[in-house]
Amino acid sequence: MPLRPRGRALDAIRPTTLEIGTAPFAEGSCTITMGMTRVLCTASVEEGVPPWREGKGGWVTGEYAMLPRATTERTRRERRGARGRTQEIQRLIGRSLRAAVDLSRLGERTVIVDCDVLSADGGTRTASITGACVALQAAFLRLVSEGALEASPLTQWVSAISVGVVDGESRLDLEYIEDAAADVDLNVVCLEEGGFVEVQGTAEGAPFDREELDRLLDLADKGVRELRGAQKAVSY
């Protein structure tokens, strides 16, 4: 099988680690590292819910930001609130996490999961979702240990990965240089039970057909299964 620039097989994810407890003051935290992409995910528990959620159970939401030097050149901080790409990613993180949680079992509490990108080399949104789920479960288990919850409201794991076509080859877990050169790129968010939260795909040049899409989804399935195993390994 052909190898990629860093010696990786086409169907291999980058070297990945998930480290819990990396933010000691947060109810739950996880730093996820995938190659040179690194994201700190912290879960903060607050009593109460937004007014429109009162009487309906808890709420889980996500926020996302990149440090100014997460990239090769400094980027300005977003001082006027999340907009554009950042807002889109935040909404995706929140939707992905809520799909894996029984909010009725959370009580009237809000959990905010902050995903702060420490270094970015492609796949920051997908890494954020994978790490955020681990941080969220850590927060739930802390609430259980404190007697605030009977059991974790997490009903299944959610994880995410990128796939794409580069130089005519279907590839799993794109680095930035691959993403920038991709003819097709997809972000895939999957639940443990097999459902998709999001499949976001773009053809940068010629359209891709159903056969190519199926190949990419099969690759993504392989990747999220590996990530799910890593999530479980650090969370129990």
DSSP assignment of 121-186: SS-HHHHHHHHHHHHHHHHHHHHHHTTS-SS--B-S-EEEEEEEEETTEEEES--HHHHHH-SEEE
pLDDT digits (tens, 9 = 90+) for 176-220: 999 999 999 999 999 999 999 999 999 988 889 999 999 999 999
Identify the pLDDT of residue 81.
64
CB 139, CB 28: distance < 8 Å: yes
Instruction: Compute the average pLDDT of residues 162-187.
Output: 94
Distance CA 136, CA 133 (A): 5
| Domains of the chain, CATH where assigned | 16-235 (3.30.230.70)
**pLDDT tens sequence across 22-41:** 999 999 999 999 999 999 99
Looking up tokens 């996880």, which residue turns up?
Answer: 30
Distance CA 77, CA 91 (A): 19
Whole-number pLDDT of residue 75: 86
Q: What is the mean pLDDT of the chain?
A: 93
